[in-house]
Amino acid sequence: MKRFCVLLVLLLSLPALVLAEVMYVQVVKTRLLTRPSAFSRSKAILSYRTKVEVITKTGAYFKVKTKRGTGYVPKRSVVVTKPKYSSRLKGKYISSEEVALATKGFNEQVESDYRRQHNNLPYAALDQLEKDTNYSDPVKTFKTFRKKGELGEFQTGGAK
């Protein structure tokens, strides 16, 4: 009887083991979300190569279990095979922002098609704005900005 109970427990737990699909984060960083929505709150930030166990599939999201908790990640930010380490993550892999845009249906192809269909819009101004706000080292740039403006930790605390 005891063997039968142990065997029954093993058989009942087998589907859970088979259904748990292991995947890995393929982007530099992605958010572990509270709900399957791009506008959901973050529970944690998952880094490149983080192991996740897929619980369910919900639209463009997977509900996953990680060491950091349970939540949702965009399907496009994870892959089945563990990504290799690379010293060139910036140019080779997609960013979490690109994943968020792609989840909403926006990518280079969509932008290209939209530009073709709406060629009367001021794309040069948008391109210039994008160029002007693309910083190679945002931390250094914003620290300099705060220092010049006497903001944050550089604030003098009194009126001049």
Task: Give per-residue pLDDT as tens, 78-105.
Answer: 999 888 765 444 555 566 666 666 666 6
Average pLDDT over residues 120-126: 79
Which residues sit opposite 73 in a β-bridge?
62
pTM of the model: 0.47
For the chain, domains (ranges, CATH) are 2-121 (2.30.30.40)
